[in-house]
């Protein structure tokens, strides 16, 4: 088995066999939930609500990478956040594939005045990344919450952020997209 042609035939046989196994295992139970494989990284919990779906779940911290924390439910839905601002989602449908939240974080820290652009990426039905930009401004409400007003392609939305004493977002209402609409988030400590 030394020639490229022989190796290609071998790889094709492996792929055909693997696809047959996949078809056979389709009747098997689903893989175990994430919670059976991952130990939470802290005793902090993230509660996420989706008002349009009447859904709420408690997530645990499962990963940290370059300032981004990934929180997961037991059934593998994840929300990735940077300092409490949503960067990406998985498992919700119509997920945010990635976001540049730097301008929002700068506005929350008082380092950004005036309008700024927040960029997100979504997948099109043919699995192509589609960038979407929103022009936003940050203000404060009478109760001290930060209010981010945004416009994008004829859609207006308003994010709300309450900060804790360290400047981290403690609770929020954040726009994900036209299908999911808003996520409500809040942190708590596990008992």
pLDDT in tens, 19-75: 333 333 333 344 445 445 455 566 889 999 999 999 999 999 999 999 999 999 999
Distances 6 to 10, 13, 16, 18, 132 between C-alpha atoms, Å: 6, 11, 15, 18, 46
**Any idea what DSSP says for residue 141?**
-
d(CA 178, CA 79): 17
Tens digit of pLDDT for each residue in 119-162? 999 988 888 889 999 999 999 999 999 999 999 988 999 999 99
pLDDT at residue 117 is higher than 70: yes
Q: What is the pLDDT of residue 115?
A: 96
Nearest alpha carbon to residue 123 among 98, 100, 101 = 98
Sorting pLDDT into bands at 50, 70 and 90, what band is 93? confident
d(CA 189, CA 46): 9
pLDDT at residue 92 is higher than 80: yes
User: What percentage of the chain exceeds 70 in pLDDT?
Assistant: 77
Phi and psi at residue 157, in whole multiples of 5°?
Answer: -150, 160
Q: What is the pLDDT of residue 27?
A: 37
d(CA 73, CA 138): 31
Q: What is the pLDDT of residue 40?
A: 56
């Amino acid at each position: 088995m030394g020639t490229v042609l022989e190796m290609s035939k071998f790889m094709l046989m492996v792929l055909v066999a693997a696809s047959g196994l996949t078809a056979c295992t389709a009747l098997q139970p689903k893989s175990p939930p994430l919670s059976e494989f991952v130990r939470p990284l802290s005793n902090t919990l993230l509660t996420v609500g989706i008002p349009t779906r009447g859904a709420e779940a408690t997530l645990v911290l499962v990963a940290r990478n370059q300032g981004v924390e990934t929180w997961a439910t037991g059934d593998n839905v994840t929300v990735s956040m940077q300092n409490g601002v949503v960067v990406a989602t998985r498992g919700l449908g119509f997920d945010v594939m990635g976001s540049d939240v730097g301008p929002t974080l700068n506005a929350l820290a008082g380092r950004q005045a005036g309008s700024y652009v927040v960029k997100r990426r979504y997948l099109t039905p043919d699995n192509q990344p589609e960038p979407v930009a929103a022009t936003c401004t940050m203000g404060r409400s009478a109760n001290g919450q930060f209010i981010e007003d945004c416009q994008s392609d004829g859609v207006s939305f308003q994010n709300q952020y309450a900060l804790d004493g360290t400047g981290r977002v403690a609770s929020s209402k954040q726009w994900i997209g036209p299908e999911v609409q808003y996520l409500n988030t809040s942190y708590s400590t596990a008992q």
